[in-house]
Amino acid sequence: MKYSSATHALSVNPATGETLASYPWATQEEVERAIALADAGFRHWRCESVAHRAHKLRDLGTALRGRAEEMARMMSREMGKPIQQARAEVAKSAGLCDWYAEHGPAMLNAEPTQVENDNAVIE
């Protein structure tokens, strides 16, 4: 079945012009539901400890590495990216997950600053 961009979002391989997939545009209700779910997720995750969130970032890096070839091939199909570049991008993304899991918590610490009689902090 051929779909139109007026009724569907089309995933097209830019290198070949092949339509890979089509997705019907969301209704107003579906958009509102997605926003509500995102808000609920934010409210949940902001209450989780920094250590827990860092652990989940490590898990994400591990998951990316475990599916690296699949992700790279998908990026190549959907963006026309050369496979070597796609593999490097997956590895870079996994590495960033690890880096932020290790260094991110310290970035949240308050930093004293030289104003207001040394009583101010940057958070």
Q: What is each CA distance from 89 to 82, 86, 94, 107, 108, in whole angstroms?
A: 11, 5, 9, 24, 27
57-67 b/e (C-beta count within 10 Å ≥ 16 → b) = beebbeebbee
Domain of residue 87, residue span: 49-109
* 120 domain-assigned: no
| Residues 5 and 28 grouped into a single domain | yes
Q: Confidence class of residue 1 from pLDDT cuts 50, 70 and 90?
A: low
DSSP 48: S
Q: How many CB atoms lie within 10 A of CB 3?
A: 14
* 43 domain-assigned: yes
| Residues 31 and 54 grouped into a single domain | no
Predicted local confidence at residue 7, as pLDDT: 86
Q: What is the pTM of this model?
A: 0.76
| Residues 53 and 68 grouped into a single domain | yes
Report the pLDDT averaged over residues 99-112: 91
CB 76 within 8 A of CB 88: no
User: Structure tokens of 18?
Assistant: 């092949």
Report the pLDDT averaged over residues 105-114: 86
User: Structure tokens of 123?
Assistant: 């958070």
pLDDT in tens, 42-53: 999 999 999 999
| Residues 84 and 68 grouped into a single domain | yes
* The pLDDT of residue 116 is above 70: no
Report the pLDDT averaged over residues 95-117: 89
| Residues 68 and 101 grouped into a single domain | yes
CB 51 within 8 A of CB 105: yes
